[in-house]
């Protein structure tokens, strides 16, 4: 994977994503490939990529806005038909980082709508987004 590192062992995938928007597409492709290798349906893959992509983009944009470099870790694990993805950055947490535009700030809503669970926990040491989806049967 260009720029980042990825390790996938069966039902667990870990990707270290540099805080560079140019690394979002290769990260999505690595996650897409891993999900397809596990037999996840195309519909589920697309919704998972939407939510994970939003969380990763937010980690880069907001978590590392005021620093020159950083790493966001994406960890995905499939247990039976339950997929859990954790996106963790080590940037600074800002409770309400909006204010630039009224067209922004829909990421939480998007993640909540396409996943069964979307929890965001911010601390002074960074932010963790936990996404959970019960997968449909590939058909």
Q: What confidence category does residue 105 fall into, taking pLDDT thresholds of 50, 70 and 90?
A: low
Predicted confidence (pLDDT) per residue in 74-86, tens digit: 999 999 999 999 9
> Which overall architecture, per CATH, does domain 5-134 show?
2-Layer Sandwich (3.30)
Residue 132, classified by CB atoms within 10 Å of its CB into exposed (0-12), middle (13-18) or buried (19+), is: middle
If you search the block for the tokens 């928007």, which residue do you land on? 21
Question: Whose CA is closest to 16, among 68, 73, 64?
Answer: 73
pTM metric for this prediction: 0.82
Predicted confidence (pLDDT) per residue in 12-51, tens digit: 999 999 988 899 999 999 999 999 999 999 999 999 999 9
């Amino acid at each position: 994977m260009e720029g980042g590192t990825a390790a996938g062992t069966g039902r667990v995938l870990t990707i270290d994503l540099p805080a560079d928007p140019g690394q979002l597409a290769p990260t999505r492709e690595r996650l897409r490939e891993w999900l397809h290798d596990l037999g996840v349906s195309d519909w589920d893959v697309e919704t998972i990529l939407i939510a994970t992509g939003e969380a990763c983009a937010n980690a880069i944009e907001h978590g590392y806005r005021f620093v020159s470099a950083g790493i966001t870790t994406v960890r995905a694990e499939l247990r039976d038909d339950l997929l859990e993805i954790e996106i963790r950055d080590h940037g600074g947490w800002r409770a309400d980082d909006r204010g630039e535009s009224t067209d922004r700030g829909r990421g939480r809503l998007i993640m909540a709508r396409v996943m069964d669970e979307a929890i965001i926990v911010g601390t002074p040491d960074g932010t963790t987004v936990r996404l959970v989806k019960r997968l449909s049967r590939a058909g």
